[in-house]
Structure 1
Amino acid sequence: MSLLLFDATLCLLLLVLALASILSRQLVHGVILYIAFGLMMALAWARLATPDLALAEAAIGAGLTGALCFSALARQQLHLPVVLSWPQRLWPAVFVLLMLGGVLAALLQLPPTASPLVDVAQAELINSGVSHPVTAVLLNFRSWDTLLELVVLLLALLGALQVAPAAKATTSWPLSLSWSRLLAPMVILLAGYLLWAGASQPGGAFQAGALLAAGAVVLRLNHQLNWLRWSNFWIRLLIVSGVSAFVLAALLAMLLTTDNTDVIWLRWPPQLAGGFILLVELFATLAIALTLTLLVVGEPAAAEQAQQNSGGEAHD
């Protein structure tokens, strides 16, 4: 009964935070409420026994997206407040309520029995190269979807770099700088664990990449990782390697298919499937982490970049 009350309170709090973020008259308050909503969503995923999604939601919904919103606010003229009329502030709330009603209606129409696709996935799990059904679906049974997601993420970064202005130099808060250095090794270890554990339990490339990106954004905003920018050739190479490794692994798998079955694109040989999936997820993790980081922090301004370069030469 206590857990039921907790879940009901959590659902109500999510709805209240979503509406409050939309109806807020000040953008700063709206962003803060949105970050709080992301943290509550992470707690909701944890209650649904999906720790990988909870970590991804905390890293992206509350961390990266919150940093992106605050970065956008910093570029606005906050001394000129935008006054919105009630209809302008009300229609997003109505949209949220309609979407929530649609989701609830869809849930009520779900069949009481499990989909037959669950049994099909479990039957083929032994040939997938992994023991976790979600990873098997994402990296084996439906690899096309994951490959296209990486392509979309890469195109989003390329588009953002074309229109986003260079980031202005800011001063670092000493407490934030010290904490970012302290937590960076822990973030790397946890991301590595999520990547490795994804074959047999919740985890995988996207969760590991999102966690790495959250740590990299904090360090980058504190003027660490100055080499992490699009103008760095190795950074561009690692970002493109997510899609490239996927395609090259698929071509190699086609060449290594020696049985009499038809050669199918993005079909891994059963005896080598585990190695192919781990290789693809490794490069996908790095590509996702770097892409999300650059989407949030962008490129440094020319003056800041020259100052960082001169500082690095003086240090050397």
Structure 2
Amino acid sequence: METLISWAIDVALALLVVSLAWRALASTDLFKAIVLFIAFGLVLTLVWVRLNATDVALAEAAIGAGVTGALLLAAYAKLRATSPDAIVDRAGGISGIGAISLLILILLVAAALGYAVWTLPSDYTGLGKEVAANLDQSGVSNPVTAVLLNFRGYDTLLEIMVLLLALLGAWSLGITIPRPEAAPGLVLDTLSRLLVPLLILVAAYLLWVGAHAPGGAFQAGAVLAAAGVLMLLSGRELPAALATWPLRLALVLGPATFLMLAVITLILEGRVLKLSPEWAGRLILIIETTATISIGVTLTALFMGAPPGEEDR
């Protein structure tokens, strides 16, 4: 009976994910498409939980459904402020030949993925055994953190660099997000005062626990960004003293620390980000701490749309 219920839940989640994805792509209403995308991210979070990929589930909930949804809503607000309602409401729809072509492409990709999984050997276990065998040398006990920040740390370095480049690209456009001129109201103001300290504590917990349990820099940084976005929505602004070099220092702190460590390990060890076992744990904590700050500030700055002090240009 338990197996049947579990199977029914998995089938329902699979059908719901496909349905939400298709409706989000085919919707002619941008606001509806964004809401469907956020719902898609939340359901996908449950899928990752069902697959025992808790780290990915946390990242999907915080970044995929949370921060990305806020960025899309901010972009929609900017479109509504600069474009006629008729243009915004009709934008993005897929119909006719385009819809059929997209459906065929999706089916081909799904068939290819299904074939790849179906043809895997029955005793295939991936690289889990190799990771477990070398986990003592990684400096952490969480295999996901070990892979992301030690065994294949250069992948994570490139991801952080891409995030910083995305912010620089957004800033170069000079687009600002309309800010509400009215007071945020008692409910939003009280909610922000209660949730922002809690979100900061959750981010610190996710950062610390990432060494031996699901969590880490990206999850913690996304939660930190959620606190920043909530403060912006409640009408709070970055103090002028922090809007110049402190902001830019926070943006580059994580990438610069990561890149400096990559250069040092290349010189001393002859391999990029090859961390010595006796120092690996401390170095990973330093990398994750600086990366959390940079990720949180970068995602918040993306929501702002333009560097502080340039909103009126």
TM (norm. structure 2) is 0.86
Question: Deviation digits for residues 21-56 of structure 1, max 9, x if unmatched?
Answer: 111121111111111111111121222233332222
Distance in 1, Cα, partners of 2:108 & 2:237: 43
> Which of 22, 26, 29 is residue 25 of structure 2 equivalent to?
22
Provide the residue aligned with 2:164 in structure 1.
154
Which one is further off, 61-70 or 270-279? Answer: 61-70
Relative to structure 1, is the Cα distance of residues 198 and 44 closer, same or farther in structure 2, using a 3 angstrom cutoff?
same
> Which of 115, 132, 142 is residue 122 of structure 1 equivalent to?
132
Distance in 1, Cα, partners of 2:100 & 2:309: 41
Distance in 2, Cα, partners of 1:162 & 1:295: 12
Match of 1:75, SS? helix
Question: Deviation digits for residues 63-118 of structure 1, max 9, x if unmatched?
Answer: 22222222222222352142755334554444434333332222222222234632
Match of 2:134, SS? helix
Are 2:226 and 1:214 equivalent residues in the alignment?
yes
Which one is further off, 153-162 or 80-89? Answer: 80-89
Provide the residue aligned with 1:309 in structure 2.
none
Relative to structure 1, is the Cα distance of residues 82 and 160 closer, same or farther in structure 2, using a 3 angstrom cutoff?
same
Are 2:166 and 1:163 equivalent residues in the alignment?
no
* Backbone CA RMSD of aligned residues: 2.7
Say whether the 8 Å CA contact 1:22–1:92 is kept in structure 2. Answer: no
Distance in 2, Cα, partners of 1:239 & 1:280: 14
Following TM superposition, by how much is the alpha carbon of 1:173 offset from its aligned partner in structure 2, in angstroms? 4.4
Relative to structure 1, is the Cα distance of residues 156 and 178 closer, same or farther in structure 2, using a 3 angstrom cutoff?
same
Provide the residue aligned with 1:82 in structure 2.
90
Write out aligned runs for 1:1-316 (5 A). Answer: 1-76=4-79, 77-80=83-86, 81-82=89-90, 85-115=95-125, 117-170=127-180, 171=182, 173-174=184-185, 175-227=187-239, 231-251=243-263, 263-299=270-306
Say whether the 8 Å CA contact 1:38–1:62 is kept in structure 2. Answer: yes
Which one is further off, 56-65 or 102-111? Answer: 102-111
Distance in 2, Cα, partners of 1:229 & 1:161: 20
Gaps of 5+ in 2: none
Distance in 2, Cα, partners of 1:125 & 1:297: 40
Question: Deviation digits for residues 104-148 of structure 1, max 9, x if unmatched?
Answer: 222222222234632222221111111111111111111111111
Distance in 1, Cα, partners of 2:160 & 2:265: 19
Following TM superposition, by how much is the alpha carbon of 1:299 offset from its aligned partner in structure 2, in angstroms? 2.4
Match of 1:203, SS? coil
Say whether the 8 Å CA contact 2:171–2:305 is kept in structure 1. Answer: yes
Relative to structure 1, is the Cα distance of residues 301 and 177 closer, same or farther in structure 2, using a 3 angstrom cutoff?
same
Question: Deviation digits for residues 250-293 of structure 1, max 9, x if unmatched?
Answer: 455578x6xxxx54331111111100010011001111111112
Say whether the 8 Å CA contact 1:167–1:298 is kept in structure 2. Answer: yes
Provide the residue aligned with 1:310 in structure 2.
none
Question: Deviation digits for residues 183-238 of structure 1, max 9, x if unmatched?
Answer: 11221111111111111111111111112112211221222252499953111101
Relative to structure 1, is the Cα distance of residues 118 and 159 closer, same or farther in structure 2, using a 3 angstrom cutoff?
same
Identical aligned residues as a percent: 41
Which one is further off, 85-94 or 133-142? Answer: 85-94
Say whether the 8 Å CA contact 1:250–1:266 is kept in structure 2. Answer: yes
Number of equivalent positions: 301
Match of 2:163, SS? helix
Say whether the 8 Å CA contact 1:250–1:268 is kept in structure 2. Answer: no
Provide the residue aligned with 1:314 in structure 2.
none
Gaps of 5+ in 1: 307-316
